[in-house]
Chain A
């Protein structure tokens, strides 16, 4: 099966600019996650979708981050405006509803200068 697709692979922006990341999960996977991985740290969950509804966004900085999953398939994560501390790898993952393990994408590496 095809894996989790993410784009772009790399992105460099200036602080206060906006940026968007795209994720296409594995076909049939109802659950989609966005994780933020700052250099030298483990990934941290930002938001979880079940189909097109938000299940957990308790760690999402809602003043600048937003995410949507239209039609329960693809998802977009947006940052507006970006700060220097947002420099990180943004990982998308998906899973079947009952499965305890995820499949991760290769991530988008964001550098804010």
Chain B
């Protein structure tokens, strides 16, 4: 069975603070992919990153960084120096090789960045 848990339902920070969104996953596959998506109030899901299970290198893209640790089955997402435009719901998702292209999403974390 595959499962994604985002324990933080809501996070509220003040602009310029750093914030980390947690994601824990469960899978029996050895080959899998992990994703983060952003869903602003307009509703569309915006792709942020994809990671495969064989690449544990951390990644940084501007103010965004991701920490993938297979030992703890976690794929956490950090926003440095948060901005009001970062306010959105963020989803972590898992795709197992044995499940075809199906994405299993977590419940999402609502991030609010206050000015």
Contact = CB atoms under 8 A, between A and B. Distances in A.
Instruction: Give the size category of A's interface with B.
Output: 20 to 34
Q: Is the interface of A mostly helix, strand, loop or mixed?
A: strand
Interface stretch (B11-19, B55-63, B69-77, B100-108): B100-108
Interface string A9-23: 000000000000000
Contacts, number: 55
Contact of B101 (A33, A43, A107): A33
Interface string A24-66: 0000000101000000111111001000000110000000000
A16 to B, nearest CB: 26
Contact of B50 (A33, A101, A104): A101
A95 to B, nearest CB: 7
B43 A42 contact: no
Interface of B: 4, 33, 35, 37, 42-47, 50, 52, 91, 93, 95, 100-103, 105-108
